[in-house]
Amino acid sequence: MNKIFASATEALEGVLFDGMFVAAGGFGLCGIPELSIAAIRDAGTKDLTIASNNCGVDDFGLGVLLKTRQIRKMISSYVGENAEFMRQYLSGELELEFNPQGTLAERMRAGGSGIPGFYTRTGVGTVIAEGKEHKDFDGQTYILERGIVADLAIIKAWKADPSGNLVFRKTARNFNVPAAMCGKICVAEVEEIVPLGSLDPDHIHLPGIYVHRLVQGAHEKRIEQRTVRKREG
């Protein structure tokens, strides 16, 4: 099975449809699937529900899909860097389902592991718990959270081999692994595809069984917040 495609547009051909559910990896602007996001924008696929840690910034990352009004609902844990997100949400144009960060990651991982739901103490007694089943274990109250299974996962890794085994670099590992696991189809974009057998099996972060399509390409890797110290002297 050849998993390597020449571009994100080709990798997503026949996969996209209006109203689909997409899981997207990345944290802020770190480790985001830039090429796949651009391909979805260009395809014009609309009414998307996207599960992702956040929604990028106004002109980069998932923010470009907000700009083109292609997202109907976001399932996120943080949305603080995107003015257009705030505008669309406050005006009622965009649905938002807030999740605690660990809960969102575990919902993705659970869905990819065949686990339909799990109980967690996170969110008990807050608006997060409203409408969810409560259950007591060992004298503590927990709420039921459902696993996420997405129509498509779009992720970004550092290296891959032709079988789709992936290696992530530093914090770009973040949400990419659980997002990849929960997609019925996973498209992974990488900086380099290396020969089969050249990756140390002990250093593989995500096995290729979760990855269906691969794209190698150049990435901007923009810095979201740059903090510098004044030069002394």
Q: Note the pLDDT tens digit of each residue in 105-141.
A: 999 999 999 999 999 999 999 999 999 999 999 999 9
SS3 137: strand
Listed by start position, the domains of the chain span 4-115+149-216
> What's the pTM value of the predicted model, to 2 decimals?
0.93
Q: What is the CATH number of domain 4-115+149-216?
A: 3.40.1080.10
**Mean pLDDT, residues 133-156 taken together:** 98
Determine what percent of the chain is predicted with pLDDT higher than 90: 82
Q: For residue 233, what pLDDT is reported? A: 66
List helix spans (H) across 45-151. Answer: 63-67, 83-90, 101-112
For the chain, where are the E strands, in sequence order?
Answer: 4-5, 21-24, 48-51, 71-76, 95-98, 117-120, 134-137, 140-146, 150-160, 166-167, 183-193, 213-216
List helix spans (H) across the chain. Answer: 8-11, 34-43, 63-67, 83-90, 101-112, 176-182
The C-alpha atoms of residue 171 and residue 165 are separated, in whole angstroms, by: 18
Q: How many CA atoms lie within 13 A of 155 on its CB side?
A: 38
SS3 27: strand
Q: For residue 220, what pLDDT is reported? A: 83
189 touches 155 (CB < 8 A): yes
| Residue the block writes with tokens 């609309």 | 46
Residue 40 has pLDDT above 90, yes or no: yes
Q: Which residues pair with 74 in a beta bridge?
A: 50, 96
